[in-house]
Structure 1
Amino acid sequence: MIRPPSSPRLLVEERRRLIIEQVERVGRATVEELAARFSTSPVTIRTDLEVLARNAAIVRSHGGALPAPPRAVDTPLAIKETRHHAQKRRIGQAAAKLVENGETIILDSGSTTIEIARALGQRKWSELTVITNGLHIALELGTIPAVRVMMLGGLLRTSSHSLVGPGAEQTLAQLSADRLFLGVDGIDTDIGVTTSDPQEAALNALMIRVSREVIGVFDSSKFGQRNLSVIGPVALLHTVITDAGADDRHFFALREKGLHLILV
């Protein structure tokens, strides 16, 4: 069992993230179990569960919590970041290692690409340009002197902290990048890579067109998933960085289409 950090007071956000992970991993959790694990009171745990239930991160049950059912609607970024967090962190670290000094890269908004930004922030740069439509990514990298951050304009999607629409597309159309790191909500080798929002999909497709190399970054739960809006066929990707949790047939299908696969 993964133990929480030994800090005398675990940050509320981190505790709640770990609660979600435990509920999803085990399939259920009681208030007593969670209170014992986090060395806190049942009242505090009940408050955590009520907040998580309101955000649809878990389902409240008598005496504890159950995993939330899959949702067809757009999930808030704060919730996405709690899901498969360890895998996303490894993916982010592997992706950041591909970036070289002097490059211009695009980081799509998302819960996996923010892990790339965090990993980039741990490295020393003489020069790096990051184009992004993610407010959270711009805030993560904007304080590093050697990193030039270019924000795309447009309409703010509050659920994903991203900017989309004609304004963002008009700005992006005038730019070019060495690499795009693209997070998606679903990948199906027949349908392609998909996301929940049509405007996000349109911007993602343009990101692909202005980039010399396209690297898909997503955890293994995205395999076999189909969402509302198709970004493009799988063949538009050059490389996929993911974890090894998916069925091998998905990995075989990607290799059959000529994609380079990095498992973390």
Structure 2
Amino acid sequence: MNRAERLGAVLDLLADTGQLEVEDIIVKLNVSAATARRDLDTLASQQLLTRTRGGAIGQSVAYDLPIRYKREKHAQQKRRIAEAASALVDRGAVIGLCGGTTSTAIATVLGSRADIMAASPHSSLTVVTNAINIAAQLAMRPQIKTVVTGGVVHSRSYELVGPYSDVVLGKITMDIAFIGVNGIDPVVGATVHDEREAAVNSLMARRATRAIIVADSSKIGMNAFATMGDAKLFGTLITDSGITPEQLAAFNDNGIEVIVA
């Protein structure tokens, strides 16, 4: 386990209980006490937790996620996808993040990157999002400029949807947009369950120089209700190693680059 993976594991442990002792990290991650303390100090400096004597507590935030964000499926795969997505983001970039558990994982990884979180008089990253949970999460990080689209809150996904989102998205451009989906097919393209989410996600993708689908392999070959437009809108898919050789070939044949995390 490298350092980035270990820091993510510490946050996962903290998320389960809300409080963590150094001894818990030593036992569960098989590291020294010095390493455990350094990891907690690093995460505290990034405002991802609050240090206590002998451990840490979760960072207090002004929102609570729906249950699907707390106990989401395929968490490890999404973490790897998020790290692969982060590797494509340069310091100073402008990126788009739609709602969903994979996009939330990307926000978490970006918010823990040392180069982004380093003290600076200017923003190290700009994130445009229609997800209020992501906005609240990143609002605690002054190094990240967070732009929230307008709209009506979708109670299931915490996403802002509707025509008000068009006003903001229509006036900005982004370097990369990371779009989560409920289904991805090499011919049909990206799909989600709600047509309002599809409209916002499609516009976010069109306003970006590069639009990337982020989806674990369980979504491949699945079709949901609403499409996001032409399949060629997205030139890249980031997924996990569960993708089959046949699926990989099908995406390549349709001109879609696949990054396997």
- TM-score, normalising length from structure 2? 0.70
Of residues 145, 150, 162, the one that matches 2:147 is 150
1:199 matched residue in structure 2: 196
Look up the equivalent residue of 1:202 and give its one-letter code: A
1:14 aligned to 16, 26, 50, which one? 16
The residue that corresponds to 1:179 in the other structure is 176
Mapped partners of 1:109, 1:84: distance in 2: 16
Amino acid at match of 1:210: R
- Superimposed CA distance per residue, residues 179-223 of structure 1 (whole angstroms, 9 cap, x where no aligned partner): 000100001222211000111001111111111001111100001
Structure 1: tracts of 5 or more residues without a match: 1-6, 16-75
The answer for the alignment partner of 1:71 in structure 2 is none
**Structure 2 counterpart of 1:102:** 92
Q: Which amino acid in 2 is paired with 1:237?
A: F
Q: Secondary structure at the match of 1:226?
A: coil
User: Match for residue 31 of structure 2?
Assistant: none
Q: What's the C-alpha RMSD, in Å, of the aligned pairs?
A: 2.1
Match of 2:158 among 153, 157, 161: 161
Alpha-carbon spacing, 1:161–1:235, altered in 2? closer, same or farther (3 Å): same
The question of 1:83 aligning with 2:62 is answered no
Q: Return closer, same or farther for 1:208/1:14 CA change in 2, 3 Å cut-off.
A: same
Q: Does structure 2 conserve the Cα–Cα contact (< 8 Å) formed by 1:109 and 1:134?
A: yes
Letter in 2 for 1:243: D
Task: Confirm or deny that 1:258 pairs with 2:260.
Answer: no
Q: Distance in 1 between matches of 2:77 and 2:248?
A: 16
Structure 1 runs of 4+ aligned residues shifted over 6 Å read none
Q: C-alpha displacement at 1:120, in angstroms?
A: 0.4
Structure 1 pair 170/184, CA: closer, same or farther in 2 (3 Å)?
Answer: same
* Equivalence for 2:38: none
1:112 alignment partner, SS class: helix
Which residue of structure 1 lines up, in the alignment, with residue 211 of structure 2? 214
Q: Contact 1:77 / 1:111 at 8 angstroms: preserved in 2? A: no
Aligned twin of 1:245: 242
Of residues 61, 83, 88, the one that matches 1:93 is 83
Identity %: 38
CA deviations over 1:122-167 (Å, ceiling 9, x no partner): 1132521100001111122111111100001110001101101011
Unpaired runs of at least 5, structure 2: 1-9, 18-64
Does the CA-based 8 Å contact 2:86-2:109 persist in structure 1? yes
Of stretches 123-132 and 211-220 in structure 1, the one that deviates more from structure 2 is 123-132
TM-score (norm 1): 0.70
